[in-house]
Amino acid sequence: MEPQSLFSGFCSNSITPLYRNPQNPLSSSPPSLSYPCFNQSKHQVSFEIQYFLSSQRLRSVRRLLCKNSVEKVSNLVSEKEGSKSWVKRKRLAVFVSGGGSNFRSINQACIEGFVNGDVVVLVTNKHACGGAQYARDKGIPVILFPKTKDEPDGLSPDDLVKVLREFEVDFILLAGYLKLIPAELIRAYSRSIFNIHPSLLPSFGGKGYYGMKVHKAVIASGARYSGATIHFVDEHYDTGRILAQKIVPVLANDTAEELAARVLREEHKLYVEVTTALCEDRIVWREDGVPLIQSKENPEEYY
């Protein structure tokens, strides 16, 4: 069977720091916008500068992004090591709901040059989560999605697609994002959205299986092995095509916390490995629709 190469490419929000990442000169985030904002608590009121982009200011920022042609220089292609071929540096969007440890691993790998890409925007459903704060600290724009009672400034699915395209996002990486991805985004980024799950899918996946609930279910089942799975995202929870997996043992006296820590260590390594392959155009499709990763060392081998 002859595999066919996958190529994808597409071109902010409520609480969005828009400024260039000082640690990553290759990043091409949009320029900074700052507005004064009051923070009030029961004990004090403070005045500070916050960086944000509301949905109402979306149109003006689009004009600003169009003018910022100088930033395009950072999106120059990079040469494959040991090859005469050239691969465009990919632009990544990461979605998180919590601390974002996988997001941090991927971003650090980009900064250190292991990944031929840059995290250019973070999407979250919780503006105060650890992953969002890390993004702000690193100068990565933060988008709030979806719009809910708790997060009334979140974007609609259509506006989210528009903003991601304006950031020229090539691939979307879900890293502990607990909301179902809307059909509008699935259609706009077909075969370009990936998720990592803390079990060996298709076991212990689907709605309600997330975080510690997965590891408790694995231990209760008596399974001797668990692990991490990276899969393509479709319109359901954890049902997309499996791309890569890493296996870890389940020990006789494991607690859910111990198993979770063991799996998470493998998640960090696996997601960076897959993102590296993705940004080097090494994801291919078998004729029967199964995605494979092409070996960098031996292009005739797939796994």
The DSSP symbol for 288 reads: T
Tokens of 95: 């979605």
Please count the other Cβ atoms lying within 10 Å of the Cβ belonging to residue 139. 18
The model's pLDDT over 6-63, given as tens digits with 9 standing for 90+, comes to 333 333 334 343 333 434 433 434 433 332 333 333 333 332 323 334 444 444 334 3
Regarding the domain delimited by 90-293, which CATH topology (the fold level of the hierarchy) does it fall under? Rossmann fold (3.40.50)
Sheet holding 291-293, edge to edge: 4-5, 283-285, 291-293
Q: For residue 185, give every residue at least 6 positions away whose Cβ sits within 8 Å of its Cβ, in sequence order, or none.
A: 157, 160, 161, 164, 172, 193
The model's pLDDT over 152-169, given as tens digits with 9 standing for 90+, comes to 989 999 999 999 999 999
Cβ-in-10-Å burial (0-12, 13-18, 19+) of 178 comes to middle
Is the CB of residue 119 less than 8 Å from the CB of residue 105? no
Alpha-carbon distances, residue 228 vs 103, 195, 221, 260, 294 (angstroms): 15, 10, 17, 10, 20
Write b or e for each residue in 182-199: b if 16 or more Cβ atoms lie within 10 A of its Cβ, otherwise e.
beebbebbebbbbbbbbb
> How confident is the model at residue 86, as a pLDDT?
82
| Residues identified as active-site | 197
CA angle 17, 21, 24 (to 5 degrees): 155
Nearest 5°: phi and psi at 143?
Answer: -110, 135
Residue 246 and residue 147: Cα distance in Å, rounded? 35
Residue 247 and residue 227: Cα distance in Å, rounded? 4
Question: Strands 90-96 and 171-174: what pairing?
Answer: parallel
> How confident is the model at residue 283, as a pLDDT?
97
For the chain, residues with pLDDT lower than 70 are 1-85
> How confident is the model at residue 150, as a pLDDT?
87
Domain ranges of the chain: 90-293
CA angle 47, 52, 55 (to 5 degrees): 130
